[in-house]
Chain A
Amino acid sequence: MFTGSTDQARRAAKKELEAHLSRKFNDYFDEEIPTDDSVFVRDPPLLWRYFVLPRKEGEDEAMADSDYIVSQIMAVNTKIENAYVFSSGKNMGCFKGVGYPEEIGEYFMLDRLYRAHTWTVHGRFPTNTQAWWGGAHPFGLLDTTVVHNGEVSSYGTNRWYLEMYGYACTLQTDTEVIAYAADLLMRRQRLPIEIVAKILAPPIWAAIDRMDEKEKRLMTALRMTYGPLLMNGPFAVIIGETGRMVGLTDRIRLRPLTAATRGEIFYISSEEASIRLISPHLDRVWTPRGGEPVIAEMKGYEKGYEKGHEKGYERIC
């Protein structure tokens, strides 16, 4: 995405980004992201997509491709003025902007151009920062996306901790830290979501005191090790990944989240009504408990985390 108040500024950002890409990647194909210009949206940025392969040189050669790509995204977002990467998946695309969700959907022609097995949609009314295209949800990094309702009041602490791992928060809104925490914990540190949920929304100490010895040790260790990644404040999030979708609220559930199933389809939303709009008939509707993730996995994509923290989460499909 290239922002800037004039077309000239956007083209200059694009030129600079492409110079950077040509040093770091082999560009196989690139194009402007198709949009329906008959849909009115205010001040759209220049939106371009690049299909690239890493060209790692020198000490970068030891890096995993995914780490290399993440580090380059951070470099672009911090160093190239008016250029931001807001979608970087292999098999995942983020489409976002300023406007009503249905207008953004029509602008990107989602119904005409794209098919997917997992969809997340979000409408946001920014209360603490200015609305801009990069600040819309979802926040994505590689194949993981996050949408969020609430407020991360621990943003400063979380941001400081994530910066130590090379994540630069540039998009001016709190949800960004959840996306990067998910990337750090799930992709880089390979922690299972059940554990990640207990890092982001840990049980309170009084509850830990009542646990059996083994669980108490685990929860205590997580709180000690990952204290700065505790997400304080009210939140409900939906994390989308390849073949998996996870819903999670803060531990005392200060934001709503309703889950439902119909046949083999899983739904999760802030409100039951929005699920009913898509599927008037549902097999099961429930309110997930605070701090306990609801995990839906696509058949054939199960992540294979079986042992360990047996209770406190639900697995669908």
Chain B
Amino acid sequence: MSSPVLDILWSQFPHLESTDCADTAAGCHVSHACRREDLVGISTVFRESGYRLEMLTCLDERAGRKMFRLVYHFTQIDPVERHRVLVDVPVGEQAPTISHLFESANWYEREVYDMFGVSFSDHPDMTRILTEEGADYHPLLKDFGTIDGPVKGGDDA
């Protein structure tokens, strides 16, 4: 698909790998995989083109690819166009914050830190938001077990 923001992105960030997902069930129009150091620049391009940050979450892929993967959804509302940006963050390292560009990122990044332990550098308030203050665990990590294990009816159903 063609969009003015794609031309700007491709010209400024040659390392960006973009996949067209417009007619699939992926839910986004284009999916980009970018490097950690390009994230702030790409977010600036989206911001200047009038996009907003709709969702930010994280995947724990330490078992497979030894990385955390951050997933950003930048959306333009008129006409609807959603771009998914995937960023890899090595274990134990920080991701750059974009809360100075998008106010919604403030709470989204706090949630990612709370659930996964991925901290964002230069965030104005890098504290937990959903779990209790002073907790020392990050619940959504894959090795953080549950009390009674996986529910029956999963693997052996």
A and B bound? no
Point out residues on A near B: beta carbons under 8 Å: none
Binding site for A on B (CB under 8 A): none
